Amino acid sequence: MRLAMPALWYLVTSWCSTSGGRITWRQVSYLTWGVLQERVMTRSYGATATSPGERFTDSQFLVLMNRVLALIVAGLSCILCKQPRHGAPMYRYSFASLSNVLSSWCQYEALKFVSFPTQVLAKASKVIPVMLMGKLVSRRSYEHWEYLTATLISIGVSMFLLSSGPEPRSSPATTLSGLVLLAGYIAFDSFTSNWQDALFAYKMSSVQMMFGVNFFSCLFTVGSLLEQGALLEGTRFMGRHSEFAAHALLLSICSACGQLFIFYTIGQFGAAVFTIIMTLRQAFAILLSCLLYGHTVTVVGGLGVAVVFAALLLRVYARGRLKQRGKKAVPVESPVQKV
């Protein structure tokens, strides 16, 4: 098993490099983002010998900070760097922003009504819905081997994630309302990436896309916080704890960097490739934990890794064959014989 892990990592990084590269930096930024998010949401601030301190509990305020900084970064990039002529109507960005907000809401609400295995299977199986949504939204067509490899990746990642540890004791039973919310999360999430993919038909850059989406995301998030009366409380908490302000700023920087690579990946290679990368990221996070902390990998988990390995190998092989066919299809001029 230990020998197969480096080979799997090499294959995945090779496949990602042929699909555009830039993947490693996005993964680093989001792994850092995850560590900082856990620190912000699970630890107390202002703790002393006589006071336990207080915790920050409003994740939506952090989302607003992430989107504001991403909006600023994208805006400065548009001003300082030469960009293509913008031709997309601004209101079209609002659809991706709204669907992203709805998918996040459905995801968090569904966690209250579905069991842990159901959550894992849903997150690992998003590739197929994204491909089907792509046929509706952006009129993309996929080969049969792409559906096959996407299915194998979903099965392999599900096997690995489900065998990575016991089900949490607090995991609720799956209900019909939970399944409806989970279906809404998958549908809205699939629409978001495919709608962004379709917007790139206007020949815009990734930072222009990032600016438009985050502009409307900021509007939606501010409206939600004002309606709940949580905007001022989050600002006051930041004023009371400078350490929280520093952590929130670093969190927003990592999020903005991750968004740059997300929009680049969607713009260059489509929503399906992006979703496959995000699906594999879940397995890599657990795989990294196993390597660093000596956790054992079960037989089922090893079989799951082998299935993912085979699916990526098949994907690389199929893409190579397509490139060879494309080269053979190019007509070659016969040499002119001199008399």
User: With a threshold of 0.75, does the pTM exceed it?
Assistant: no
Coil, strand or helix at 20: coil
93 pLDDT tier (thresholds 50, 70, 90): very high
Distances from the Cα of 306 to the Cα of 3, 16, 163, 242, 292, angstroms: 12, 18, 14, 47, 20
| 303: pLDDT strictly greater than 90 | no
For range 1-26, the mean pLDDT: 44
- One-letter amino acid at 157 equals V
| 215: pLDDT strictly greater than 90 | yes
CA 98 to chain centre: 17
* Beta bridge pairs of residue 189: none
In terms of pLDDT, which residue wins out, 182 or 334? 182
Coil, strand or helix at 139: coil
Return the pLDDT at 12.
44
| 8: pLDDT strictly greater than 50 | no
For range 173-197, the mean pLDDT: 85
